[in-house]
């Protein structure tokens, strides 16, 4: 048997196509250079090629494809935001998610679960009502529910919650999860098939700007001439902005998560408690995917700590005491690029030809498709797409913030 397998593996009769083309050298010039092969950079490359016919693009990635926050998040998809700008934007994303597996011919394991934001205080109930009203106004399915509905949907929950009883919360039926790394692979393969070059292990070390315009990019593998650069590097954004001397109010905090060993399916839905600072869902493999709020210090690091599983597990057991013997299998961290108003920073910048897709903090996975769509449009037309006008960098200069903190899911 091993011999037959080996013969098959060494035969050239049924070659397994590689997921991506390997490019050993950079061309001297590209129409568009995208920094960061996370979901956002790859989605923008995909839609630039597919919808705008721009294919002379390279995506530069200092590590490996999807190895940043895209491969580290807890995959929650929802549109139950607080501001009209946010609700419309994320709603469009949820719409785009529906067809992606088909588009890519790749199963993203998109799974509609319903999403609870649990309220343990009167103030949290009030925010739930506020969000439900804004959501309904824009046609989004969200409603305020009582503790009975929570118990019916998640029967294993202890509503007393260790002294912080659940009063009810916001229920958002479209809430979903998907397999995060396949999203990067799907967009990457789709872009690659259309002629986009993806260069992994290629770090951007400088941006050449002359007369306020982008003219080139310095990389660990040489210089590239270009007039358009899209920066989609999440937690590394301040480092890139320094290269073009542009200031932003971004601050970077680690965000950690962990998964348990796989257990029998018992949790169908997604539960978030802003007061306990925890959230949980069960993956299709049976693992419990769990997270909490940001680490309370600014640092650009993906190191995880022992404090984190200890604190998270204590609150998780308040909610689900029966989990006390379940083992934690692994934990990790990503670098969350936070903004003061918990909304992203998107679009044109003071440097001509330099476009920014950042400020995705703890909430950017769900936005991957709509970011790709709107940023590719913005780059192709050199004009901010109408869906991102509430998210531009100059809102901080103009004191016109887009306050999304109440919908940020995990408490901060």
Q: At its nearest, how many Å lie between ligand FAD and the CB of residue 344?
A: 9
**Site for ligand FAD (CB under 6 A): which residue of 50, 58, 72, 209?**
72
CB of 205 to ligand PYC, least distance (A): 31
Cα distance between residue 24 and residue 21, in whole Å: 10
Out of 70, 74, 282, 378, the only residue in the binding site for ligand PYC (CB under 6 A) is: 74
Give the 3-state secondary structure of residue 127: helix
Q: What minimum distance in Å lies between the beta carbon of 336 and ligand PYC?
A: 9
204 and 35 in contact (C-beta within 8 Å)?
yes
Closer residue to ligand PYC, CB minimum distance, 293 or 378: 293
Task: Phi first, then psi: give them for residue 178, nearest 5 degrees.
Answer: -150, 170
By the rule CB under 6 A, 44 interacts with ligand PYC: no
286: left (phi over 0), alpha (psi -120 to 50) or beta: left
Among 76, 140, 258, 267, binds ligand PYC (CB under 6 A): 76
Q: Per CB under 6 A, which region of 59-67, 209-217, 258-266, 384-392 contacts ligand FAD?
A: 59-67
- CA of residue 387 relative to chain centroid, distance: 18
Which one, of 243, 234, 189, 192, lies nearest residue 214 by Cα? 243
334 binds, among ligand PYC, ligand FAD, none (CB under 5 to 8 A by kind): ligand FAD
Indicate which single residue of 363, 384, 388, 390 sits in contact with ligand PYC (rule: CB under 6 A). Answer: 363
Q: Which does 410 bind (CB under 5 to 8 A by kind): ligand FAD, ligand PYC, none?
A: ligand PYC
From the list 39-47, 113-121, 123-131, 142-150, the region that binds ligand FAD by CB under 6 A is 39-47
Q: Determine the interface stretch with ligand PYC among 35-43, 72-80, 368-376, 378-386 (rule: CB under 6 A).
A: 72-80
Residues binding ligand FAD: number (CB under 6 A): 38
Show contacts with ligand PYC in window 284-303 (CB under 6 A): 291
d(CA 392, CA 322): 46
Q: What is the DSSP string of 176-230?
A: EE--HHHHHHHHHHHHHHTT-EEETT--EEEEEEETTEEEEEEETTEEEE-S-EE
Using the contact rule CB under 6 A, the part of the chain among 19-27, 74-82, 322-330, 337-345 near ligand PYC is 74-82
Whole-number Å distance between alpha carbons of 371 and 41: 9
The answer to whether the CB of 380 falls within 8 A of the CB of 54 is yes
Tokens of 402: 């887009």
- Cβ atoms of 186 and 192 closer than 8 Å: no
Distance, CA of 21 to CA of 182 (rounded, Å): 17
Per-residue x/- track, 221-250, ligand FAD (CB under 6 A): -----------xxx-x--------------
Does residue number 54 form part of the binding site for ligand PYC (CB under 6 A)?
Answer: no
Could you say whether residue 198 binds ligand FAD (CB under 6 A)?
no
Q: Where are the alpha helices (DSSP H) in 20-120?
A: 39-52, 84-104
Binding to ligand FAD by residue 292, rule CB under 6 A? Answer: no
CA distances from 397 to 244, 246, 382, 387 (A): 18, 12, 21, 20
Q: Taking contact as CB under 6 A, which single stretch among the options 55-63, 70-78, 234-242, 298-306 is the one that binds ligand PYC?
A: 70-78
Min dist CB 302 to ligand FAD, Å, is 8
Q: Which residues have a Cβ under 8 Å from the Cβ of 188 and sit 6 or more positions away?
A: 19, 20, 37, 42, 46, 59, 65, 66, 198
With contact defined as beta carbons under 8 Å apart, do 282 and 266 qualify? yes
User: Which residues between 329 and 358 bind ligand FAD (CB under 6 A)?
Assistant: 334, 336
State the nearest-atom distance from the C-beta of 104 to ligand PYC, in Å.
23
Q: Which residues bind ligand FAD (CB under 6 A)?
A: 35-41, 60-63, 67-70, 72-76, 203-204, 232-234, 236, 255-257, 291, 334, 336, 360, 362-366
The binding site for ligand PYC (CB under 6 A) comprises: 74, 76, 78, 279, 291, 362-363, 409-410
């Amino acid at each position: 048997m091993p011999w037959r397998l080996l013969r098959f593996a060494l035969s050239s009769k049924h070659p397994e196509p590689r997921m991506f083309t390997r490019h050993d050298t950079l061309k001297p010039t590209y129409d568009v250079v995208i920094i960061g092969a996370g979901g956002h950079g790859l989605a923008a490359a995909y839609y630039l090629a597919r919808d705008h016919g721009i294919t002379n693009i390279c995506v530069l990635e200092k590590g490996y494809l999807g190895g940043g926050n895209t491969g580290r998040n807890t995959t929650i998809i929802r549109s139950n935001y607080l501001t009209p700008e946010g609700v419309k934007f994320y709603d469009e994303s949820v719409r785009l998610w529906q067809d992606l597996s088909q588009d890519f011919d790749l199963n993203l394991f998109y799974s509609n679960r319903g999403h609870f934001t649990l309220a343990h205080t009167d103030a949290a109930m009030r925010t739930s009502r506020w969000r439900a009203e804004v959501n309904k106004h824009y046609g989004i399915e969200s409603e305020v529910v009582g503790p009975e509905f929570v118990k019916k949907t998640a029967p294993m929950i202890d509503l007393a919650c260790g002294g912080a009883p659940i009063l009810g919360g916001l229920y958002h039926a479209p809430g979903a999860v998907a397999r995060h790394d396949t999203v990067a692979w799907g967009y990457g393969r789709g872009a690659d098939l259309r002629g986009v070059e993806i260069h992994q292990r290629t770090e951007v070390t400088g941006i050449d700007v002359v007369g306020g315009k982008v003219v080139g990019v310095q990389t660990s593998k040489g210089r590239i001439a270009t007039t358009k650069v899209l920066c989609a590097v999440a937690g590394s954004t301040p480092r890139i902005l320094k290269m073009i001397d542009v200031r932003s109010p971004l601050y970077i905090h680690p965000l950690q998560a962990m998964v348990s060993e796989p257990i029998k399916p018992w949790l169908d839905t997604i539960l978030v408690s802003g007061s306990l600072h925890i959230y949980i869902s069960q993956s299709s493999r049976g693992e419990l995917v769990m997270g909490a709020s940001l680490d309370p210090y600014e640092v650009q690091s993906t190191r995880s700590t022992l404090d984190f599983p200890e604190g998270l597990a204590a609150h998780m057991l308040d909610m689900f005491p029966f989990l006390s013997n379940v083992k934690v299998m692994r934990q990790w961290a990503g670098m969350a690029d936070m903004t003061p108003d918990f909304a992203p920073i998107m679009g044109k910048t003071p440097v001509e030809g330099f476009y920014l897709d950042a400020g995705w903090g703890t909430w950017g996975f769900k936005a991957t498709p709509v970011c790709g769509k709107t940023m590719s449009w913005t780059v192709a037309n050199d004009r901010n797409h109408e869906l991102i006008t509430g998210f531009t960098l100059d809102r901080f200069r103009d004191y016109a913030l887009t306050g999304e903190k109440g919908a940020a899911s995990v408490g901060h």
